[in-house]
Amino acid sequence: MQLIANEHPLRHQLAGEIHSRPYTQLSAPARISHIAVMNGEHADDADLAHLKLLCEHFGVAQPPDNAKHFSQEFSNFFLKWERHTEFSTYTIFVSSHVDVPFERSPLNRLPDYWLSELPGQLINATHVVVETADTKPRSIAETAVFFNDNNLTGSTVLDGKASIWTDGRIHSDGFGRILVRDQGLNPRGLGRLVQRLLEIETYRMTAMLAFPLAKLSIKRIADSEQKLSLIVKELPMIKDVGDERTLLSQLSHLAADVEAVSVETSYRFSAARAYFSLLEQRVRELREKRIPTLQPSGDFIFRRLAPAMATCETMSARQEKLSRHIARASNLLRTRVDVALEEQNRDLLQSMDQRARRQLRLQQTVEGLSVVAISYYVLSLISYLAKGAKALGIDFDPYVVVLIAFPVIIGLVWGGVRHIRQALTDRAENTD
């Protein structure tokens, strides 16, 4: 059947996106080790190159170029790699039973050199042990032994089909620990549960990356707020344009400082907001129910994480509000400077107008004097000519000749001077 319209070049890619990052099917008993490393937004090539080294070491198929996720069965473990915006995760699955949970790590099956050279900085490392439903029940005290007798959180999840316990701590091996008991989940459901638990741990850590930045920004923002308050208080006491320009310069430097803080923190605050939203979604999907005497893991996480995220949100809002206040103060001050400059320009234009008028009167005076001077010299020349003609015998009075020529000469000279002035004026206007 022929397509109705030209196919969009991204149609298949977009349709396949919903099937990306599939859940791993998992059966109890199982041991899982999960590692998340922060390596920035441009580490795809480094991740793939490192994965190819591992595949080459074990002689298995390598990931394709430009891959964003990769799953591969090795000889005695299963590896899943996922590339996220700014971090990568490596999850190692081993299907086997251990008498003592967390006694043996699946990472022991990977080469030490490969683990030590993972690109990026470790942000989360978690061991998960999945037990079968027929595992002998333990008391809370017996379970706490596997967590170095730390205080536990726990709950039943997914409508009682599984139970989870954790202490939310990093142990001496550098890993957190989660104990899961399968109580009726199918392989897909168990795989989804384990992935959600690992994502909760990773998103919890990546969201918390914004909290230290928020604490560091508090003093800088508080100092900037105090400086702005002092500048605003000085606005009514401005005396001249010099004071206005000084305050405007201070506001410009203050705006630059606040913008620098915003640039340093805005991405991390936005990322924390996104991670926290994903974390809330993953916890809701667990559908936790309380185990007697234990606090549910979700409640434990939000009790400590929610205030930290609220601090980040508050700092983000303070930065935006401070930027708006600085912008308003700058606009007010610029308005005052503009008004003062307009007054100066008005006075300058009035002064220029007065000078132009004086110059026009002077020019008119000079033109009058020029007409008189030129006419005088022309009439003097006519007088000499008339006297010379009378000396040659022509009978007329030279003074009469000068008297007759006087109005004619005055008119011609005045008209000529005016014509020249008009020509110069027209040329200047055409040039402009």
Average pLDDT, the chain: 85
pLDDT digits (tens, 9 = 90+) for 128-138: 999 999 888 89
SS3 (DSSP) at 157: strand
Of the candidates 49, 61, 32, which has an alpha carbon nearest to the alpha carbon of residue 119?
Answer: 49
Instruction: Tell which residue, 92, 102, 95, has the closest CA to residue 35.
Output: 92
User: Is the pLDDT reported for residue 257 higher than 90?
Assistant: no
Its pTM stands at 0.74
Residues 6+ apart with CB under 8 A from 162: 156, 180, 181, 182, 183, 184, 185, 190, 193
Mean local confidence (pLDDT), 10-24: 71
Q: Name the E strands within 74-120.
A: 78-83, 87-94
Higher pLDDT, 22 or 284: 284
**Distances, alpha carbon 105 to alpha carbons 78, 127, 185, 187, 404, in Å:** 13, 7, 24, 22, 130
Is the pLDDT at 355 greater than 90? The verdict is no
The continuous run of DSSP H or E covering 71 comes out as strand 69-73
CA distance 34 to 127: 6
Residue range 118-132: mean pLDDT, rounded: 94
Q: In the chain, pLDDT over 70 holds for what percent of residues?
A: 89
**pLDDT of 164 above 90:** yes
pLDDT of residue 44: 81
Question: Which one has a higher pLDDT value, 234 or 284?
Answer: 284
Average pLDDT for 89-95: 94
pLDDT > 90? residue 98: no
Res 432: pLDDT? 58
Binned at pLDDT 50, 70 and 90, residue 337 comes out as: low
In this predicted structure, what is the pLDDT of residue 17?
65
127 pLDDT above the threshold of 90 = yes
